[in-house]
Amino acid sequence: MTPHTIQTQPIDGQKPGTSGLRKKTRVFMEPNFLENYVQSIFDGIGGVAGKSLVLGGDGRFFNQTASQTILRMAAANGAAKVIVGTNALLSTPAASHLIRKRGTDGGLILSASHNPGGPEEDFGLKYNTPNGGPAPEGVTDKIFAVTKTIGSYKTLDTADVDLSTPGSLALGDMEIEVVDPVSDYAALMRELFDFEAISALFAGGFRMQFDAMHAVTGPYATAILEGALGAAPGSVVNGIPSKDFGGGHPDPNPIWAKSLVKTMMGPDAPDFGAASDGDGDRNMIMGRGIYVTPSDSLAVLAAHAHLAPGYAGGLKGVARSMPTSGAVDRVAEARGIECFETPTGWKFFGNLLDAGRATLCGEESAGTGSDHVREKDGLWAVLLWLNILAVTGKSVSQMMSDHWAEFGRNYYSRHDYEDVESDKANALFDGLRDKLPSLPGQTFGPLTVESADEFAYDDPVDGSHSAAQGLRIGFAGGGRVVFRLSGTGTVGATLRVYLETVETDKARMHRDAQEALADIIAAADEIAGIKAHTGRDAPNVIT
Neighbours of 122 (CB within 10 A): 26
* Contacts (CB under 6 A) with ligand G16, residues 29-58: none
CB of 375 to ligand G16, least distance (A): 8
Which of 23, 51, 282, 403 is the binder for ligand G16 (CB under 6 A)? 282
Cα separation, 485 vs 285, whole angstroms: 25
Cα separation, 142 vs 135, whole angstroms: 10
The answer to whether 488 contacts ligand G16 (rule: CB under 6 A) is yes
- Coil, helix or strand at residue 31: coil
CB of 495 to ligand G16, least distance (A): 10
**Nearest residue to 69 (alpha-carbon basis) of 113, 96, 33, 116:** 33
CB of 226 to ligand G16, least distance (A): 25
Q: How far is CA 249 from CA 20, 274, 322, 382, in A?
A: 19, 16, 25, 20
Number of residues that bind ligand G16 (CB under 6 A): 18
Which of 293, 342, 387, 486 is the binder for ligand G16 (CB under 6 A)? 486
Which of 18, 39, 67, 217 is the binder for ligand G16 (CB under 6 A)? 18
- Coil, helix or strand at residue 471: strand
Cα separation, 322 vs 317, whole angstroms: 16
Give me the long-range contacts of 158-167 (CB less than 8 A, separation at least 24): 158/1, 158/72, 160/68, 161/68, 161/71, 163/64, 163/67, 163/84, 163/86, 163/87, 163/88, 164/86, 164/87, 165/86, 166/86
**What are residue 474's DSSP bridge partners?**
451, 480
Tell me how many degrees the CA angle 293-424-485 measures, rounded to the nearest 5: 30
Our CB check for ligand G16 shows the closer of 72 and 484 to be 484
The answer to whether 123 contacts ligand G16 (rule: CB under 6 A) is no
Using the rule CB under 6 A, give the single segment among 206-214, 241-249, 310-318, 480-488 that binds ligand G16: 480-488
The answer to whether 130 contacts ligand G16 (rule: CB under 6 A) is no
The answer to whether 283 contacts ligand G16 (rule: CB under 6 A) is no
The answer to whether 250 contacts ligand G16 (rule: CB under 6 A) is no
Query: Catalytic annotation on 113?
Result: yes
* Contacts (CB under 6 A) with ligand G16, residues 90-119: 113-114
Which of 440, 487, 492, 529 is the binder for ligand G16 (CB under 6 A)? 487
Using the rule CB under 6 A, give the single segment among 172-180, 238-246, 268-276, 343-351 that binds ligand G16: 343-351
CB of 282 to ligand G16, least distance (A): 5
Q: Which string of x and - marks every residue 295-324 that binds ligand G16 (by CB under 6 A)?
A: --------------------------x---
CB of 336 to ligand G16, least distance (A): 27
- Coil, helix or strand at residue 284: strand
CB of 7 to ligand G16, least distance (A): 33
Which of 344, 370, 534, 543 is the binder for ligand G16 (CB under 6 A)? 344
Q: Which string of x and - marks every residue 346-385 that binds ligand G16 (by CB under 6 A)?
A: x----------------x-x-x------------------
The answer to whether 256 contacts ligand G16 (rule: CB under 6 A) is no
Using the rule CB under 6 A, give the single segment among 145-153, 157-165, 264-272, 482-490 that binds ligand G16: 482-490
The one catalytic residue among 96, 113, 242, 370: 113
Cα separation, 535 vs 218, whole angstroms: 40
Residue 276 has φ and ψ, to the nearest 5°, of -135, 175
> Left if phi > 0, otherwise alpha if psi is -120 to 50, otherwise beta: which for 289?
left
Number of H helices, E strands in the chain: 18, 27
> Left if phi > 0, otherwise alpha if psi is -120 to 50, otherwise beta: which for 535?
left
The answer to whether 249 contacts ligand G16 (rule: CB under 6 A) is no
The answer to whether 496 contacts ligand G16 (rule: CB under 6 A) is yes
CB of 397 to ligand G16, least distance (A): 27
> Left if phi > 0, otherwise alpha if psi is -120 to 50, otherwise beta: which for 442?
beta
Q: Which string of x and - marks every residue 423-442 that binds ligand G16 (by CB under 6 A)?
A: --------------------
Q: Binding residues for ligand G16, per CB under 6 A?
A: 18-19, 113-114, 277, 281-282, 321, 344-346, 363, 365, 367, 486-488, 496
Q: Catalogue the active-site residues.
A: 113
